Amino acid sequence: MRILITGGAGFLGSHLCERLLDEGHEVICLDNFFTGSRDNIINLLPNPRFELIRHDVIDPFKAEVDRIYNLACPASPPHYQYNAIKTIKTSVMGAINVLGLAKRTRARAFQASTSEVYGDPEVHPQSESYWGHVNPIGIRSCYDEGKRVAETLFFDYHRQNNVDVRVVRIFNTYGPRMRPDDGRVVSNFIVQALRGHNLTIYGDGSQTRSFCYVDDLIEGFVRLMETEGVSSPVNIGNPSEFTMLQLAELVVKKVGGNSKITFHPLPSDDPKQRCPDITLAKKLLGWEPKVPLEEGIERTIAYFKKTLGL
């Protein structure tokens, strides 16, 4: 097939490009390089089935494709809060442009949504039937509400224009090709520890997250895209929960050195718990994560050691 990936030079997008090329598809990678990097896809450029286009998903674009994966959007708080208006435009106008293209070409369109649509959840773990508990005017709202509107658009285009859509709700994911300045907790802890700095925990460290290794997530993406008859969003993530303190202690143990753990005030609207119910993914896709946290952290540390020249 001929497949378009918006945000294809990003952390997740580059892994997806690689996976789909390995399967024999033609891949068009579209990225404006706001948070993506040419380094992530440099090894793919010689491949005759790979095409790189520098373009902002906010602006309309044309392509003749069979599948569209819409991954374009900054996903870490420092990056999406840097220009909140740009972030929500990327989610909303990007979705409109992707869906317009899918309608014209009859391509199947895939939306990379997020567990952030659940906000600071009052239900635990979060299943796809939970509507969320989101602050519409907070500092994280540009991302949370942008992704919620994108989901609305996808299902409205499905109902009104018969566009074939898939929506994944991504829970915390980590692995090689995260940026050192990504701002998400796994990369923060690993980079701090490798540089011999103290690890920064916001709050008392009791808040929980579930961490899915990137290879597992990409497997979930591909299975969802190619499964027929899926009519609702699907959670993809690791249901094993860890506190921020447990994660920090694991990173310190794996990296070694003398880094200490320090505590700082909790940012506004930071969720206390985030954990997926993956019953639907197991049932519809036969999917569940395979890589344990300890193994995934070791692989990610090795990547950052090489990237940082340590």
Q: Which residues are catalytic?
A: 143
Task: For residue 125, say if its preceding peptide bond is cis, omega within 30 degrees of 0.
Answer: yes
Rounded Cα distance, 307 and 153, in Å:
38
Rounded Cα distance, 180 and 196, in Å:
14
Instruction: Tell me the CA distances in angstroms from 121 to 99, 115, 236, 237, 271, one per residue in order.
Output: 29, 10, 17, 16, 7
Which parts of the chain fold into alpha helices (H)? 11-22, 38-41, 77-82, 84-105, 141-161, 185-194, 214-225, 244-255, 279-285, 293-307
For residue 288, what is the DSSP state? Answer: -
Phi, psi torsion values for 9, nearest 5 degrees: -100, 5
The two structure tokens encoding residue 278: 């993956």
Rounded Cα distance, 128 and 233, in Å:
6
